[in-house]
A = this chain, B = another copy of it.
Amino acid sequence: MERVAIIGASMTQFGERDAWIRDLLAAAGTEALADADIDASDLDHLYVSNMASGEFEGQTGVMNALAHDLGAVPAYTQRVDQTSASGGAGIYAAWQSIASGASEMTMLVGGEKMTHRSTAEATDVIASLTHPVEYKHGLTLPSFAGLVARRYLETHDAPRESLADIAVKNHRNGLDNPHAQFRKAVDRETVLSSPIVADPLRLYDFCPITDGSAALVFAPESVAEEVADEYVTVAGIGGATDTHVVHEREDPTTMRGVAESSRQAYEMADMDPTDVDFAELHDMFTILEVLQLEDLGFFEKGEGWRAASDGITHRDGELPVNTSGGLKSKGHPLGASGVAQVFELYRQLLGEAGDRQVAGDVGLACNVGGFGNCVTTTILEGPR
């Protein structure tokens, strides 16, 4: 089967934006078309990754509005929802559209508009993805994160400071990302003295509520060769679920969706974890970066906490993780986050990441929906 290429990408400023979801999607879409140097009329398919424009804004049908706003009609459109992994699911959908032969040019635009709602309201919309029984007992995603962090730290005798070091690293990286919501370095002490949200996790262990959008343009490699000077290819991709009810998991510190989706992606790419040069992981909570490092096969179980503290996942380390600043500092506009992860890999692989540039020709992105309810892993290779 012919490989799928990415020939253009964009992301908008993440943060509090005075713009509605329609505007955010159109902005990222317009920029990605320009980056790929194609017209909207070249698109066969147009996918929108978005969890909840209806709940946040009372506006649905945003994929059809986007086709209108970009001038892409009659391109086929669809909205892809996989909760906080909607972006990764959109990448999988766009990949399938090209790999199946249904489309020869697909754009994916991910976005979410959230900050016009209070943090409590936004958390409530997000919490609607959990099992109703869990939700009734106050088990929102942050509280799961607290429970799992405590379990991990105790089981593996890991220091609390190791989680703080992830926040410090990702904030440091975000300082060099012009699109990041927070461009502010923090030190370990600031993290450890910030207000408790879900013990043992504190404010700086959590990503913020964010508005933003990002986009990617996909084509078969034969088309990419014709229309693009440089491009990257999707070497491997996969997706998998874990139990919807978290307490049913044998070990809540193991993310089965991460392990299974990456197994599929490595197999398709004919690679193993040692082939990966850098990664963008779903650090919605600091503890999630640790669990992904392990379940993606980069570290043995119980050893992932050492990565940030030992400098391994720093920009000058062996395996730079979240050079973009991650969800932690860049922000987490649900439907955009998975798309923005791959935007970062794309820029890194093309050598266009500015002050954040690291070396390598293989990047991996892991996008987590809910509390690991469904996960996609994407491996990119380039430039070509």
Contacts and interface: CB of A to CB of B under 8 A. Distances in A.
A161 to B, nearest CB: 33
B89 A78 contact: yes
Tell me whether chain A's interface is mostly helix, strand or loop, or mixed: mixed
A59 B132 contact: yes
B74 A257 contact: yes
A65 B374 contact: no
Contacts of A64: 83, 129, 241, 244, 369-370, 373-374
Interface stretch (A9-17, A99-107, A189-197, A210-218): A99-107
Interface in A365-382: 369-370, 373-374, 376
Interface in A234-260: 237-245, 256-257, 260
A122 to B, nearest CB: 13
A138 interface: no
A61 B96 contact: no
Nearest to A89: B78
Interface in A273-295: none
Interface in A103-151: 125, 128-132
B65 A244 contact: yes
Interface stretch (A49-57, A167-175, A177-185, A308-316): A49-57
Contacts of A60: 51-52, 55, 81, 83, 125, 128-129
A233 interface: no
Please name the 5 residue pairs, one residue from A and one from B, whose CB atoms are nearest each other, closest first.
Answer: A61-B129, A68-B244, A76-B239, A99-B100, A100-B100
